[in-house]
Amino acid sequence: MVSDKDIRELVSYEGSDLLLSVYLDTDLSAKPRDAVKLDLRQSLKELAVSPDEHAVDAITQYLDYEYTWQSRGLALFAVEGRLWKVITLPVAVPAHSSLAKYPYVRPLVDFRDRYGDYNVAIIDRESVRLFSVSGGKINSETEAYGEGLKRHKQGGWAAARYQRHEDNIVLHNLKQTIELIDAFSADSGYAHLILGGNNEILNQMQGMLPAALRNKVVAEFPADIRISQQEILAITQELLALSDREREEHLVNDTITAASKGGAGVRGLADSLYTLREGRARQLLISTYLESAGYECAHCRYLAVESFTTCPFCGEKDVQAVPDVVNEAVVNALKAEVAVNVIRDNRILDDSGGIAAVLRY
């Protein structure tokens, strides 16, 4: 599971030793343990600089003797010859190793965004089931039941009057349901809500939701009140991914358009790094696999693609080569509370250098 606290702890690392970051696909339904360990060895071989042997030993010993092999993915961070932090992930991640001044956190940021926190409400005429989902898992479920309601099938005037009575009860139940959903959402603090039920109920609810709660709804889907938790998780994660993809497309389009018109956006690595150091960046948009060597001012941590002799911000001349300025930019952004959004498969962003920044002004 990945929390904001985990990411803050990782980016706060300021040690003098290089830190080894390792990501592993540990889904044993797709590969045996020996294959996972082979992936580890192969990813370590691909590093430009050999990592500390004690750090590697700490990771291999953890896999051999401590890891339960229950999660589908794993992130490990080792420094000063010891295993510093381990984060288990409920989804598989590509094997990758990094040896740098700072932890490689981009996959965790991506995971947090894509498998973020949200609520689900499954509704019918007489009951509601509420779920909170975090990190790709259902954490809690709450159920509430109202009067048992069924459509009355007898004809005539009496039936019509009875049906109006039924409909009034349904309306009352929906009002109570909305109050429960609102309270549940407020208690969880989650910003997103997905609704499930039959179309009639969902359509009726739409006109009754208060504006603040309606703004949290990111998707709806047809569902029977007895739907299983496994089905709920599979469907809602797919819907959330679709919603996230649409939101990203709009965000990228708006940012690149603003950049081309000289507005509140820049594109390309050089300009994005510069505005980040200026403090003008509000959000970074970064393609999933973007990497680039570059340079850093050792004094104020200004990052640049091209070498420089004197830092344009602090005037110091202590310039260091950096194997991946993109990862360091992510760390700098998170430290400065600048939002980072990892973007997948977006040709417009890729054609714009793989990175853009939404500006504060």
Q: Identify the CA nearest to 26 among candidates 89, 64, 73.
A: 73
State residue 173's pLDDT score: 83
d(Cα 57, Cα 43) in Å, to the nearest integer?
15
Indicate yes or no: pTM above 0.95. no
Amino acid 297: pLDDT? 97
Taking the CA atoms of the chain, what radius of gyration do you get in angstroms?
Answer: 25
Residue pair 185/215 in contact by the 8 Å Cβ criterion: no
Instruction: Answer whether 4-104 and 246-359 agree in fold.
Output: no
Most confident range (mean pLDDT) of 137-151, 195-209, 256-270 is 256-270
Q: Where are the domains of the chain?
A: 4-104, 118-227, 246-359
Q: State how far the alpha carbon of 61 is from the alpha carbons of 65, 73, 161, 278, in Å.
A: 6, 17, 73, 44
The residue assigned the tokens 């977006």 is 346
119 has a pLDDT exceeding 90: yes
pLDDT in tens, 222-241: 999 999 999 999 999 999 98
Provide CB contacts within 8 A for 167, sequence distance 6+: none
Give residue 225's identity as a one-letter amino acid code. Answer: I
- Reference 98, options 246, 245, 289, 313; nearest CA is 289
Read off the pLDDT of residues 142-185 as tens digits, 9 standing for 90 and up: 888 755 433 333 344 344 443 443 454 456 788 889 999 999 99
Report which secondary-structure segment, H or E, holds 232: helix 229-260
Fold of 246-359: 60s Ribosomal Protein L30; Chain: A; (3.30.1330)
Q: Which fold has domain 4-104?
A: 3.30.960
Q: Which residues contact 65 (CB under 8 A, 6 or more apart)?
A: none
Domain spanning 118-227: CATH superfamily: eRF1 domain 2 (3.30.420.60)
